[in-house]
Amino acid sequence: MEYFKSQLDSLNNQWTHEPEKMMHLRNSALEQFLQMGLPNKHWEDWQFTDFSPFDKTKFRISSADDVKDIDKYHTQSFTDSFSIIILNGHYQPQLSHVPNGVTIRTLFDVFIKDEKVGLSYSEENPFIALNTSLMNCGLVVDVSDGIQIDKPIHYQFISTGIKDNIMNHPRLLIRLGENSSTEIIEHYKGESTSLYWNNCVTVCELGKNGELHHTRIQEDTGYHTGNMEYHLQNDARLNTLFFNSGTELYRGDVNINFNGQNASAELNGLSLLNNNQHMDMRIIVDHAYPHCTSNQLFKYILDNKSTGVFNGRVIVQKDSQKTDSSQSNKNLLLSKSSSMNSNPQLEIYADDVRCSHGSTTGQLDEEVLYYLRSRGIDAVMAQQLMVEGFAGELLVNIKNEKTITYLSNKLTSWLKSLENG
């Protein structure tokens, strides 16, 4: 754990222009992190994941030297979009552009102006405290009131071409004004040969009657810890998909906070796991206001010796009448040695609500496989059809069609990679 301290020292030495209160925040967050330590199997909500790899590899925080000339190809979007580009943890304003009515500023800029900006960290999640301490790529995206953006904003966080074990602690704050609507694709990708780690915090604040379509595509090849926090005012509508593939070790925390009435959150997740990969998601939906809706559908597809964890909790507070909430976790085991740990929970303190939850884990239905094969479709293709069918309902809810195509192709090539061993 000592290496985190030395990394903060090096950050403080590099970034001497930071205001003192920023340094103070970093130091106290680190203290909080060290006090908590990495989660272990005695921590109830973390018990199914081994976090010791984060201490075994001594990651170094990425520096300005890590931004190399990069092939433009890597920064191209798969869709017609506005873009925000980050290379090895460094924001590239010259490659980024956003529409009128949207501003991007670094957290540093916002901070020195003494604007109020939420940088709190919980005492329950050490990774958020660590992110606050070592934050090296902070961006604030503000969407003005009443703005409707017709193209998605594609945020690309690209990790590439570094030989050291680097880590990044990006913080992304998205503030959506009243009556505005936007689609954001938050995309992590990388093809580094050395192990890297991205420890991300994304906070989305949806103003009254705001609408956010948020697709988070996480295909880092290293380690990834992600904290996604949403705050919804009256009548706000949130539609998300969390797509995870490729990473060795993943922990994702999603927190939904209703801060007003009549708001709705559609939460979807698709995780593809192979080899020894491990993915762990915890979803907490806090219905603190009445008349809100939340629907969750999280699916995992696991092959080889991979392991998955789904831990979901819906809390309906005492006065949150007319809450309408569903929570479903469905998992497909493609091999006998893969395994899934699913734990959907409901805590209801109000009486006039409609809530459901459920979880299923199983293998491909042999009868269906036989039916398809009896029509001349070979076993590999039949399995592919069935898995695509299983995952398909998650993709159709995405607003942008090119994103659907991109993820469908990802799924198909992932399935092909299973065949080839």
Interface with other proteins includes 372 (CB under 8 A)? yes
Interface with other proteins includes 95 (CB under 8 A)? no
Interface with other proteins includes 405 (CB under 8 A)? no
Interface with other proteins includes 124 (CB under 8 A)? no
Q: What residues does 154 pair with on adjacent strands?
A: 83, 185
CB of 367 to other proteins, least distance (A): 5
Interface with other proteins includes 386 (CB under 8 A)? yes
- Which residues touch 364 (CB under 8 Å, ≥6 apart)? 332, 334, 383, 386, 387
Q: List the one residue from 44, 351, 367, 401 that touches other proteins (CB under 8 A).
A: 367
Whole-angstrom distance, CA of residue 256 vs CA of residue 246 = 26
Q: List the one residue from 75, 165, 390, 402 that touches other proteins (CB under 8 A).
A: 390
Q: List the one residue from 17, 56, 116, 375 that touches other proteins (CB under 8 A).
A: 375
- Which residues touch 415 (CB under 8 Å, ≥6 apart)? 383, 384, 387, 388
CB of 241 to other proteins, least distance (A): 16
Interface with other proteins includes 392 (CB under 8 A)? yes
Q: Which is nearer to other proteins, 228 or 334 (CB)?
A: 334
Q: Which helix (H) or strand (E) holds 380?
A: helix 379-395
Cβ contact 159:124 at 8 Å = no
**Count of CB atoms within 10 A of residue 142's CB?**
18
Distance between start and end Cα atoms, the chain: 37
Alpha helix stretches (DSSP H) within 57-163 = 72-75, 107-112, 126-134
Interface with other proteins includes 112 (CB under 8 A)? no
Q: What are phi and psi of 359, to 5 degrees?
A: -150, 135
Q: Which is nearer to other proteins, 137 or 394 (CB)?
A: 394
Interface with other proteins includes 389 (CB under 8 A)? yes
Interface with other proteins includes 381 (CB under 8 A)? yes
Interface with other proteins includes 150 (CB under 8 A)? no
In the numeric block, which tokens belong to residue 79? 């869709």
Interface with other proteins includes 365 (CB under 8 A)? yes
Q: Which helix (H) or strand (E) holds 412?
A: helix 401-419
Interface with other proteins includes 393 (CB under 8 A)? yes
Interface with other proteins includes 364 (CB under 8 A)? no
Binding-site size for other proteins (CB under 8 A) equals 23
Cβ contact 143:177 at 8 Å = yes
Task: Summarize as ranges the residues that interact with other proteins (CB under 8 A).
Answer: 365, 367-368, 370-379, 381-382, 385-386, 388-393
